[in-house]
Amino acid sequence: MDKYKLVVSDFDDTLLRNDMTVSAATVTAIKKLENSGGYFAICTGRMFQSIRREALKLGLKGYIMSYQGALISDIETGKTILDTPMKCEDVLKICKVFESIGAYYQTYIDDTLYVPEINEKTNYYTSLCNVEAIDVGAPLSNFIASTGKPAIKLLAMTDPEFAKKFIVEYNKKEPDFLFNISKPGFIEVISRKASKGIAVKSLCNILGINISESIAIGDSLNDLPMIEVAGLGVAVANAVEEVKSKADVVTASNDDDGVRRIIEEYCL
C-alpha cells in the first residue's frame, strides 16, 4: 500500500459513466485496492436503498455514505453506522421557504421518498435513481408535519442559476442547515452537522486511519467538503470548474475511468 489507505468516490458523474455503468476495469481496481489492505467507499447524495443496490451489483463491500454523508451504512448488512437527520420542526422551516418560492421539492424519511405530486421532475429523479416515490399531496409540509418524524434530506429542483444564488444566501442565513448542489438546479438540504467532508472524517475514525491517508474524488459542488478535507482531493475532468480549482489533482473524466486511474496511480 502507498500512503493512501482509503479512497472515497462520489457516484453519479464520477464513478458512474454516462451510459449508467461502472467499467469492469474500475471494479477490478477497487477489488485490488481492498485485497491489498485498502478501503473503498461511495459518498453520494442518493438514497441508501438506491446506492446500496448499485454497490451490491458491483460486488462491493465496506461502507456507503448516502444522503450527502448524513447516513453511513454497511453495504453487506445494511446496518446504520451513523445517522444525522433533521428534526421535523427544522425541516418544516425549509419546506415553507421552498413553498414560498413555488419550487418543486421532495423529502426523505426512513429511506423512503415522498413527493407532493408525481410529475416530470419526479419521473426524472426516480428513473435516474431507480426508486419509487410516494405521492402524499401538496403541500408536502402538511404531510411532514403529520408524521412528526425527522427527515434526512430535502431536495428542490429549480433553475440552475437560481440554485447557485440560493445556496449562497441560505448557507449564510440558516446556520443549522447545509445547502448544496448535486446536479445543476438540484438544491439539497441536510443538517449542518453532516456533509460529505464530515462523513469522510467519521469513516476515517471508524477505520482507525488518519484523514491524510484518504483520497476523495468528485465532480459537483456537494463534493467540495470531502475534496477539501481529504489527504488528496481529486476532481474528474468533467467536474464543474469550482471543484477543479479546489482539487489537488484533476484526473480523467467519469467516462474515461478517472476513479480507476487514481486508484492505480496512488494506491496500487
Structure confidence at residue 1 (pLDDT) = 47
Question: What are residue 95's phi and psi, to 5 degrees?
Answer: -55, -45
Helix (H, G, I), strand (E, B) or coil at 65: strand
Structure confidence at residue 3 (pLDDT) = 85
Share of the chain above pLDDT 90, in %: 97
**Alpha-carbon distance 6 to 212, whole Å?**
10
pLDDT digits (tens, 9 = 90+) for 71-88: 999 999 999 999 999 999
191 beta partners = 177
**Alpha-carbon distance 204 to 191, whole Å?**
20
pLDDT digits (tens, 9 = 90+) for 203-257: 999 999 999 999 999 999 999 999 999 999 999 999 999 999 999 999 999 999 9
Q: How confident is the model at residue 197 (pLDDT cuts 50, 70, 90)?
A: very high
pLDDT digits (tens, 9 = 90+) for 172-182: 999 999 999 99
pLDDT digits (tens, 9 = 90+) for 24-35: 999 999 999 999
pLDDT digits (tens, 9 = 90+) for 97-142: 999 999 999 999 999 999 999 999 999 999 999 999 999 998 999 9
Structure confidence at residue 2 (pLDDT) = 59
Q: Dmax over Cα atoms in the chain, in whole Å?
A: 53
Residue type, 225: P
pTM of the shown model:
0.92
* Residues whose CB is less than 8 angstroms from the CB of residue 127 and which lie 6 or more positions away in sequence, other chains included: none
**Alpha-carbon distance 133 to 117, whole Å?**
9
Average pLDDT, the chain: 96
Q: What is the mean predicted confidence (pLDDT) over 51-55?
A: 96
216 beta partners = 8, 233
Share of the chain above pLDDT 70, in %: 99
Beta carbons of 226 and 243 less than 8 angstroms apart: no
Residue 55 confidence (pLDDT) above 80: yes
Q: What is the mean predicted confidence (pLDDT) over 18-44?
A: 96
Handedness of CA 90, 93, 94, 96 (dihedral sign): positive
**Alpha-carbon distance 126 to 107, whole Å?**
13
